Amino acid sequence: MKLTTGQTPYFAVLDSLRGICAMMVVLFHFHANSHIENLPLVRNSWLFVDFFFVLSGFVIAANYTTKLRNKDVSIWRFIGLRLARLYPLHLFMLGVFVATEALMLAVRPVLVNVDRIPFEGTRSLSLIPENAFLLQSLGRTFGLSGVESWNVPSWSISAEVWAYLVFAFAMIAGCRVIRLYRAFAFLVIPAAIIAFNSGSINLVTNGGVFRCIMGFGVGTVLWQMFQRYNPGQRNTGRWEIPVFAGMVLFVSYAPAYGVTLLAPVVFGIVLWVFSAEQGLLSRAFSAKGFLLLGVLSYSIYMVHSYLHARLKNLTTLLEQQSGLELFSPSKDNLFGTTLLAGDLFVVTGCALTLIVSYATWKFVEMPGQRLIRGWVNAT
């Protein structure tokens, strides 16, 4: 753990792990007829979203528990600061999606397959408000569509915002409400997932907010444990390799064995071990490349779905115009008539994601955060 100027805890290795997990989610969404697509770890990398939730709970608890309890920060200022972190890029990407649909509508005969009608289905105009106001993770339970729409990965950003709000109210309300919050996160939500979703944690726009509250709650408890039993004093570095390997095995095979509900616990163990920043892997993940991944992780997560869609558009256009066969009819029309061609598509997509993520981080994320934080601090 490192401390910044204002004595704010900063866990560099955990940030690198977040970047690695973000890239794994990219690989999960970049479907292609490739060797990479067939790896169990890649096919189940949707589970890494739960690492984000646990880490978010840990970091938010580290930075705001005392401030909220002492009322040094009001709940509205807290939410304002969190929205300053998330909203600029979220709204920018939603705007880019909408602008692209408008462009496709204008030039549809050239750029888009005849089966793809702009502003319909998951790109319907009626679905914009719930995306714009980060309501999509609440789903049909709260009278919303329950549809994965527009910039699909943003459902987890929606879930985090509501998890922030629940956490802040609990911290301000005091010990009794905190106990109720934890009972809800660790007893009620898992029981409901077992009863209504066959024990699968794969909840997105229908119940994703509850999935997030559970993982977030694990993170808050881990911060409390960290304060009492700093892992740095327990030589957890020797556990880094086996714990990391265990995480890889869990993500690879948990869905097949129906134990995905354990994801917050597994990622909590990973977080606990690596928060000490002691072992061989921590030293590796402290390298500049991994640290940069951590810095770009939010941009990586928010831009990759758009880029994947545009790459598919471009390759479809190229196939139509050139007469070349670029998609595999025997593999659900995934890109790549050979596995190596599919590998090239995925690698190109990942490289493009990193390049664009750096641009959005520098020119959208950071300026937008400064703007909204300045406004929040002035009120």
Residue 32 covered by a domain: no
> What DSSP assignment string belongs to 302-356?
HHHHHHHHHHHHHHHHHHHHH----EETTTTTEE-SSHHHHHHHHHHHHHHHHHH
User: Are residues 30 and 3 in contact, defined by beta-carbon separation less than 8 angstroms?
Assistant: no
Share of the chain above pLDDT 70, in %: 93
pLDDT given for residue 8 in this prediction: 65
User: Is the pLDDT score of 268 beyond 90?
Assistant: yes
Tell me the angle at which helices 208-228 and 175-183 cross, rounded to the nearest 10 degrees. 120
Residue 345 covered by a domain: no
Tell me the backbone φ, ψ of residue 334, rounded to 5 degrees: -75, 155
> What DSSP assignment string belongs to 168-227?
HHHHHH-HHHHHHHHHIIIIIHHHHHHHHSTT----STTTHHHHHHHHHHHHHHHHHHHH
Provide the CB-side half-sphere exposure for 329 (13 A, CA).
1
Q: Range with the lowest mean pLDDT among 61-75, 147-161, 235-249, 336-350?
A: 336-350
**pTM confidence score:** 0.92
* Span 1-39, pLDDT tens digits: 554 444 567 889 999 999 999 999 999 998 888 889 889
Instruction: Provide the pLDDT confidence category of residue 273 given band limits of 50, 70 and 90.
Output: very high
Rounded to whole angstroms, the Cα distance separating 243 from 358 reads: 30
Does 334 or 42 have the greater pLDDT score?
42
- What b/e string do you get for 222-232 counting C-beta neighbours within 10 Å, with b at 16 or more? bbeebeeeebe
Please count the structural domains in the chain.
Answer: 1
User: Are residues 185 and 339 in contact, defined by beta-carbon separation less than 8 angstroms?
Assistant: no
Q: Which residues, at least 6 apart from 283, have a Cβ–Cβ distance to it below 8 Å?
A: none
pLDDT given for residue 5 in this prediction: 41
Q: Which domain range does residue 206 map to? A: 49-302+351-378
* Span 224-241, pLDDT tens digits: 999 888 776 667 888 999
User: Are residues 122 and 147 in contact, defined by beta-carbon separation less than 8 angstroms?
Assistant: yes
User: Are residues 258 and 200 in contact, defined by beta-carbon separation less than 8 angstroms?
Assistant: yes
User: Is the pLDDT score of 54 beyond 50?
Assistant: yes
pLDDT given for residue 10 in this prediction: 82
Beta bridge partners, 2, equal: 10
Residue 307 covered by a domain: no
Angle at 368 between CA 363 and CA 373, to 5 degrees: 145
Question: Among candidates 18, 137, 166, which has minimal Cα distance to 78?
Answer: 166
Residue 2 covered by a domain: no
Residue 257 covered by a domain: yes
Q: For the chain, how big is the Rg over CA atoms in Å?
A: 21
Residue 118 covered by a domain: yes
pLDDT given for residue 108 in this prediction: 67
Residue 124 covered by a domain: yes
Residue 331 covered by a domain: no
User: Is the pLDDT score of 323 beyond 80?
Assistant: no
* Span 201-230, pLDDT tens digits: 999 988 899 999 999 999 999 999 998 887
The whole-number average pLDDT for the span 241-270 is 96
C-alpha distances (whole Å) from 88 to each of 24, 95, 292, 369 are 24, 11, 20, 7
The whole-number average pLDDT for the span 51-74 is 93
pLDDT given for residue 166 in this prediction: 93
pLDDT given for residue 235 in this prediction: 78
* Span 97-140, pLDDT tens digits: 999 999 888 876 655 455 568 888 889 999 999 999 999 998 88
pLDDT given for residue 173 in this prediction: 86
